[in-house]
Protein backbone atom coordinates (compact mmCIF):
# COMPACT_ATOMS: atom_id res chain seq x y z
CA UNK A 1 0.00 0.00 0.00
CA UNK A 2 2.82 2.37 0.87
CA UNK A 3 4.59 1.49 -2.35
CA UNK A 4 1.45 2.31 -4.34
CA UNK A 5 1.06 5.68 -2.59
CA UNK A 6 4.72 6.47 -3.22
CA UNK A 7 4.33 5.66 -6.92
CA UNK A 8 1.25 7.86 -7.13
CA UNK A 9 3.23 10.79 -5.70
CA UNK A 10 6.39 10.24 -7.73
CA UNK A 11 4.58 9.94 -11.08
CA UNK A 12 2.92 13.40 -11.05
CA UNK A 13 6.09 14.95 -9.58
CA UNK A 14 8.19 13.63 -12.45
CA UNK A 15 5.66 14.92 -14.97
CA UNK A 16 5.66 18.36 -13.33
CA UNK A 17 9.46 18.34 -13.22
CA UNK A 18 9.61 17.43 -16.91
CA UNK A 19 7.29 20.25 -17.94
CA UNK A 20 9.09 22.77 -15.75
CA UNK A 21 12.35 21.74 -17.39
CA UNK A 22 10.76 21.96 -20.84
CA UNK A 23 9.42 25.44 -20.02
CA UNK A 24 12.83 26.66 -18.87
CA UNK A 25 14.52 25.28 -21.98
CA UNK A 26 11.87 26.94 -24.16
CA UNK A 27 12.42 30.30 -22.45
CA UNK A 28 16.21 30.19 -22.73
CA UNK A 29 16.32 31.50 -26.35
CA UNK A 30 14.23 34.53 -25.37
CA UNK A 31 16.42 35.17 -22.33
CA UNK A 32 19.55 34.83 -24.48
CA UNK A 33 18.21 37.30 -27.05
CA UNK A 34 17.44 39.82 -24.31
CA UNK A 35 20.83 39.37 -22.62
CA UNK A 36 22.66 39.85 -25.90
CA UNK A 37 20.60 42.96 -26.62
CA UNK A 38 21.81 44.58 -23.37
CA UNK A 39 25.44 43.53 -23.84
CA UNK A 40 28.14 45.83 -25.13
CA UNK A 41 29.29 45.35 -28.69
CA UNK A 42 32.90 44.75 -27.60
CA UNK A 43 31.93 41.96 -25.19
CA UNK A 44 29.95 40.23 -27.96
CA UNK A 45 32.90 40.42 -30.35
CA UNK A 46 35.31 39.10 -27.71
CA UNK A 47 33.24 36.49 -25.86
CA UNK A 48 30.33 35.74 -28.18
CA UNK A 49 26.72 35.36 -27.05
CA UNK A 50 26.23 34.66 -23.37
CA UNK A 51 23.41 34.39 -20.85
CA UNK A 52 25.61 36.29 -18.40
CA UNK A 53 27.06 39.34 -20.20
CA UNK A 54 30.36 40.63 -18.87
CA UNK A 55 29.52 44.22 -19.78
CA UNK A 56 25.99 45.63 -19.63
CA UNK A 57 25.17 48.26 -22.22
CA UNK A 58 21.91 49.71 -23.56
CA UNK A 59 23.59 51.18 -26.63
CA UNK A 60 21.46 49.06 -28.98
CA UNK A 61 18.22 50.44 -27.54
CA UNK A 62 19.64 53.97 -27.54
CA UNK A 63 20.50 53.51 -31.21
CA UNK A 64 16.95 52.36 -32.00
CA UNK A 65 15.35 55.14 -29.96
CA UNK A 66 17.38 57.92 -31.58
CA UNK A 67 14.35 58.46 -33.78
CA UNK A 68 11.65 57.48 -31.30
CA UNK A 69 8.89 59.22 -33.25
CA UNK A 70 9.42 56.90 -36.21
CA UNK A 71 9.23 53.80 -34.04
CA UNK A 72 6.17 55.12 -32.18
CA UNK A 73 4.45 55.84 -35.49
CA UNK A 74 5.25 52.34 -36.77
CA UNK A 75 3.90 50.84 -33.54
CA UNK A 76 0.73 52.87 -33.98
CA UNK A 77 0.24 51.56 -37.51
CA UNK A 78 0.86 47.98 -36.35
CA UNK A 79 -1.53 48.25 -33.40
CA UNK A 80 -4.23 49.82 -35.58
CA UNK A 81 -3.98 47.21 -38.33
CA UNK A 82 -3.81 44.38 -35.77
CA UNK A 83 -6.90 45.53 -33.88
CA UNK A 84 -9.02 46.25 -36.96
CA UNK A 85 -7.80 43.21 -38.87
CA UNK A 86 -8.25 40.79 -35.96
CA UNK A 87 -11.78 41.94 -35.12
CA UNK A 88 -13.04 42.08 -38.71
CA UNK A 89 -11.32 38.83 -39.67
CA UNK A 90 -12.71 37.05 -36.61
CA UNK A 91 -16.24 38.20 -37.38
CA UNK A 92 -16.04 37.25 -41.07
CA UNK A 93 -14.58 33.84 -40.20
CA UNK A 94 -17.35 33.15 -37.68
CA UNK A 95 -20.09 34.29 -40.08
CA UNK A 96 -18.66 32.00 -42.76
CA UNK A 97 -17.97 28.99 -40.52
CA UNK A 98 -21.27 28.88 -38.64
CA UNK A 99 -23.54 28.25 -41.68
CA UNK A 100 -21.11 25.56 -42.85
CA UNK A 101 -21.57 23.78 -39.52
CA UNK A 102 -25.35 23.56 -40.01
CA UNK A 103 -26.48 20.28 -41.55
CA UNK A 104 -29.50 21.96 -43.20
CA UNK A 105 -27.41 24.40 -45.26
CA UNK A 106 -27.89 23.79 -49.02
CA UNK A 107 -24.67 22.98 -50.93
CA UNK A 108 -22.75 22.73 -47.66
CA UNK A 109 -20.27 20.18 -49.00
CA UNK A 110 -19.71 22.20 -52.17
CA UNK A 111 -18.93 25.35 -50.21
CA UNK A 112 -16.62 23.44 -47.87
CA UNK A 113 -14.74 22.00 -50.84
CA UNK A 114 -14.46 25.48 -52.36
CA UNK A 115 -12.80 26.73 -49.16
CA UNK A 116 -10.46 23.74 -49.03
CA UNK A 117 -9.58 24.22 -52.71
CA UNK A 118 -8.23 27.71 -51.97
CA UNK A 119 -5.73 26.15 -49.56
CA UNK A 120 -4.22 24.10 -52.39
CA UNK A 121 -4.29 26.42 -55.40
CA UNK A 122 -3.89 30.15 -55.97
CA UNK A 123 -4.00 32.50 -58.92
CA UNK A 124 -0.33 33.48 -58.73
CA UNK A 125 1.41 36.52 -57.30
CA UNK A 126 1.25 38.80 -60.36
CA UNK A 127 -2.55 38.70 -60.89
CA UNK A 128 -2.96 38.82 -57.10
CA UNK A 129 -0.91 42.02 -56.90
CA UNK A 130 -2.56 43.62 -59.94
CA UNK A 131 -6.02 42.88 -58.56
CA UNK A 132 -5.37 44.65 -55.27
CA UNK A 133 -3.48 47.59 -56.78
CA UNK A 134 -5.44 48.30 -59.99
CA UNK A 135 -8.92 47.02 -59.21
CA UNK A 136 -9.20 47.75 -55.47
CA UNK A 137 -6.69 50.64 -55.35
CA UNK A 138 -5.13 49.53 -52.06
CA UNK A 139 -1.68 50.93 -52.81
CA UNK A 140 -0.39 53.09 -49.95
CA UNK A 141 -3.49 52.63 -47.81
CA UNK A 142 -3.95 51.08 -44.39
CA UNK A 143 -6.26 48.47 -45.94
CA UNK A 144 -3.31 47.03 -47.89
CA UNK A 145 -2.00 45.67 -44.58
CA UNK A 146 -5.39 44.32 -43.51
CA UNK A 147 -7.03 42.65 -46.51
CA UNK A 148 -4.52 40.78 -48.74
CA UNK A 149 -3.77 37.23 -47.52
CA UNK A 150 -4.81 38.03 -43.94
CA UNK A 151 -8.49 38.96 -43.76
CA UNK A 152 -9.80 35.42 -44.28
CA UNK A 153 -7.99 32.13 -43.79
CA UNK A 154 -9.45 28.88 -45.11
CA UNK A 155 -7.73 26.95 -42.31
CA UNK A 156 -9.35 29.16 -39.66
CA UNK A 157 -12.78 28.76 -41.28
CA UNK A 158 -12.51 24.96 -41.28
CA UNK A 159 -11.18 24.92 -37.71
CA UNK A 160 -14.04 27.08 -36.46
CA UNK A 161 -16.59 25.06 -38.46
CA UNK A 162 -15.37 21.88 -36.76
CA UNK A 163 -15.71 23.52 -33.35
CA UNK A 164 -19.29 24.63 -34.06
CA UNK A 165 -20.22 21.17 -35.34
CA UNK A 166 -18.76 19.28 -32.39
CA UNK A 167 -19.48 21.68 -29.53
CA UNK A 168 -22.73 23.58 -30.16
CA UNK A 169 -25.65 21.19 -29.39
CA UNK A 170 -28.18 21.01 -32.21
CA UNK A 171 -30.95 20.77 -29.61
CA UNK A 172 -30.09 24.23 -28.28
CA UNK A 173 -30.41 25.76 -31.74
CA UNK A 174 -33.68 23.91 -32.37
CA UNK A 175 -35.10 25.11 -29.06
CA UNK A 176 -34.18 28.71 -29.84
CA UNK A 177 -35.78 28.39 -33.28
CA UNK A 178 -39.00 27.02 -31.76
CA UNK A 179 -39.04 29.97 -29.34
CA UNK A 180 -38.98 32.33 -32.32
CA UNK A 181 -35.35 33.45 -32.28
CA UNK A 182 -33.96 34.63 -35.60
CA UNK A 183 -30.75 33.24 -37.08
CA UNK A 184 -28.83 36.41 -36.15
CA UNK A 185 -30.12 36.27 -32.58
CA UNK A 186 -29.16 32.60 -32.30
CA UNK A 187 -25.71 33.38 -33.64
CA UNK A 188 -24.95 36.38 -31.41
CA UNK A 189 -26.82 35.34 -28.26
CA UNK A 190 -26.13 31.59 -28.18
CA UNK A 191 -23.39 30.49 -30.56
CA UNK A 192 -20.83 33.23 -29.87
CA UNK A 193 -21.05 33.01 -26.02
CA UNK A 194 -20.62 29.22 -26.23
CA UNK A 195 -17.65 29.56 -28.58
CA UNK A 196 -15.25 31.73 -26.58
CA UNK A 197 -12.40 29.15 -26.70
CA UNK A 198 -12.32 28.94 -30.50
CA UNK A 199 -12.92 32.69 -30.85
CA UNK A 200 -9.92 33.39 -28.62
CA UNK A 201 -7.83 30.83 -30.50
CA UNK A 202 -8.61 32.22 -33.95
CA UNK A 203 -8.23 35.72 -32.55
CA UNK A 204 -4.72 34.82 -31.37
CA UNK A 205 -3.89 33.35 -34.79
CA UNK A 206 -5.07 36.57 -36.46
CA UNK A 207 -3.23 38.77 -33.98
CA UNK A 208 0.04 36.94 -34.60
CA UNK A 209 -0.46 37.09 -38.37
CA UNK A 210 -1.14 40.83 -38.42
CA UNK A 211 1.51 41.73 -35.88
CA UNK A 212 4.28 39.77 -37.61
CA UNK A 213 3.35 40.74 -41.16
CA UNK A 214 5.87 42.81 -43.08
CA UNK A 215 5.36 41.33 -46.55
CA UNK A 216 2.21 43.31 -47.41
CA UNK A 217 3.88 46.48 -46.21
CA UNK A 218 6.88 45.81 -48.44
CA UNK A 219 4.67 45.19 -51.50
CA UNK A 220 2.00 47.85 -51.14
CA UNK A 221 3.45 50.67 -49.01
CA UNK A 222 5.89 53.31 -50.26
CA UNK A 223 5.12 56.04 -47.72
CA UNK A 224 7.37 55.87 -44.60
CA UNK A 225 4.56 57.20 -42.39
CA UNK A 226 2.59 53.99 -43.14
CA UNK A 227 5.40 51.55 -42.32
CA UNK A 228 4.49 49.03 -39.63
CA UNK A 229 6.93 48.01 -36.92
CA UNK A 230 7.97 44.72 -38.52
CA UNK A 231 8.81 46.28 -41.86
CA UNK A 232 10.61 49.15 -40.15
CA UNK A 233 12.73 46.62 -38.24
CA UNK A 234 13.38 44.64 -41.43
CA UNK A 235 14.39 47.81 -43.25
CA UNK A 236 16.75 48.76 -40.42
CA UNK A 237 18.43 45.36 -40.56
CA UNK A 238 18.74 45.62 -44.33
CA UNK A 239 20.40 49.03 -44.01
CA UNK A 240 22.87 47.69 -41.44
CA UNK A 241 23.76 44.75 -43.69
CA UNK A 242 24.23 47.17 -46.60
CA UNK A 243 26.61 49.28 -44.52
CA UNK A 244 28.54 46.16 -43.57
CA UNK A 245 29.04 45.31 -47.24
CA UNK A 246 30.17 48.86 -48.04
CA UNK A 247 32.48 49.19 -45.03
CA UNK A 248 35.42 47.58 -46.84
CA UNK A 249 35.34 50.15 -49.64
CA UNK A 250 34.62 53.30 -47.65
CA UNK A 251 36.56 54.62 -44.67
CA UNK A 252 33.67 56.92 -43.72
CA UNK A 253 31.25 54.00 -43.56
CA UNK A 254 33.81 52.05 -41.56
CA UNK A 255 34.02 54.84 -38.97
CA UNK A 256 30.22 54.91 -38.77
CA UNK A 257 30.01 51.16 -38.22
CA UNK A 258 32.69 51.35 -35.53
CA UNK A 259 30.27 53.43 -33.44
CA UNK A 260 27.21 51.34 -34.28
CA UNK A 261 26.08 48.35 -32.16
CA UNK A 262 25.75 45.90 -35.03
CA UNK A 263 25.24 42.54 -33.32
CA UNK A 264 23.33 43.75 -30.28
CA UNK A 265 20.96 45.88 -32.34
CA UNK A 266 19.70 42.77 -34.14
CA UNK A 267 18.65 41.26 -30.85
CA UNK A 268 17.18 44.55 -29.67
CA UNK A 269 15.08 44.62 -32.85
CA UNK A 270 13.73 41.16 -32.02
CA UNK A 271 12.82 42.27 -28.48
CA UNK A 272 11.11 45.44 -29.73
CA UNK A 273 9.09 43.43 -32.25
CA UNK A 274 8.01 40.52 -30.05
CA UNK A 275 7.74 41.97 -26.52
CA UNK A 276 4.07 43.11 -26.74
CA UNK A 277 2.99 39.64 -27.89
CA UNK A 278 4.83 37.97 -25.03
CA UNK A 279 2.84 40.08 -22.56
CA UNK A 280 -0.47 39.46 -24.35
CA UNK A 281 -0.16 35.69 -24.84
CA UNK A 282 -0.87 34.61 -21.21
CA UNK A 283 -4.32 36.19 -21.41
CA UNK A 284 -5.22 33.96 -24.38
CA UNK A 285 -3.54 30.78 -23.18
CA UNK A 286 -6.45 29.33 -21.18
CA UNK A 287 -8.70 29.50 -24.26
CA UNK A 288 -6.02 28.53 -26.77
CA UNK A 289 -5.60 24.84 -25.88
CA UNK A 290 -9.31 24.11 -25.45
CA UNK A 291 -10.12 25.87 -28.73
CA UNK A 292 -7.54 23.90 -30.70
CA UNK A 293 -8.49 20.52 -29.19
CA UNK A 294 -12.23 21.06 -29.62
CA UNK A 295 -11.87 22.38 -33.15
CA UNK A 296 -9.82 19.37 -34.20
CA UNK A 297 -12.32 16.70 -33.05
CA UNK A 298 -13.88 16.25 -36.45
CA UNK A 299 -13.57 17.82 -39.88
Q: Are 199 and 89 in contact (CB under 8 A)?
A: no
3-state secondary structure the chain: CHHHHHHHHHHHHHHHHHHHHHHHHHHHHHHHHHHHHCECHHHHHHHCCCCCCCCECCHHHHHHHHHHHHHHHHHHHHHHHHHHHHHHHHHHHHHHHHHHHCCCCCCHHHHHHHHHHHHHCCCCHHHHHHHHHHHCCCCCCHHHHCCCCCCCCHHHHHHHHHHHHHHCCHHHHHHHHHCCCCHHHHHHHHHHHHCHHHHHHHHHHHHHHHHHCCHHHHHHCCCHHHCCHHHHHHHHHHHHHHHHHHCCCCHHHHHHHHCCCHHHHHHHHHHHHHHHHHHHHHHHHHHHHHHHHHHCCCC
For 263, other C-beta atoms within 10 Å of its C-beta total 18
Whole-number pLDDT of residue 103: 83
Residue 254 predicted with pLDDT over 80: no
User: Averaged over 98-102, what is the pLDDT?
Assistant: 89
Answering whether pTM is above 0.85, one says no
Measured in degrees and rounded to the nearest 5, phi and psi for residue 56 equal: -80, 135
Whole-number pLDDT of residue 246: 60
User: Averaged over 284-296, what is the pLDDT?
Assistant: 55
Query: Which residues are registered as beta bridge partners of 56?
Result: 39
Whole-number pLDDT of residue 144: 93
Residue 228 predicted with pLDDT over 80: yes
Residue 296 predicted with pLDDT over 50: no
**pLDDT grade for 297, boundaries at 50, 70 and 90:** very low
Cβ-based neighbours of 56, under 8 Å, separated by 6 or more: 38, 39, 40
**Pairwise pLDDT comparison (282 vs 43), residue with the higher score:** 43
Q: Give tens-digit pLDDT for 145-198.
A: 999 989 999 999 988 998 888 888 888 888 888 888 888 898 888 888 888 888
Amino acid sequence: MKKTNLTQHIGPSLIHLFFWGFTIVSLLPFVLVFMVSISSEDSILQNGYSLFPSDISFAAYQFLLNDFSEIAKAYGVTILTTLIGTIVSLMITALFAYPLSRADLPFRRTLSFYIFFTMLFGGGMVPWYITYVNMFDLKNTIFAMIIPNLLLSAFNVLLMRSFFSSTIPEAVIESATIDGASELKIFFKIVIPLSLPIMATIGLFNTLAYWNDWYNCMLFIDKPELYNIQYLMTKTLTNIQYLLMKSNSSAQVGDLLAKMPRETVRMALAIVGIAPLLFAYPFFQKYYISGISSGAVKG
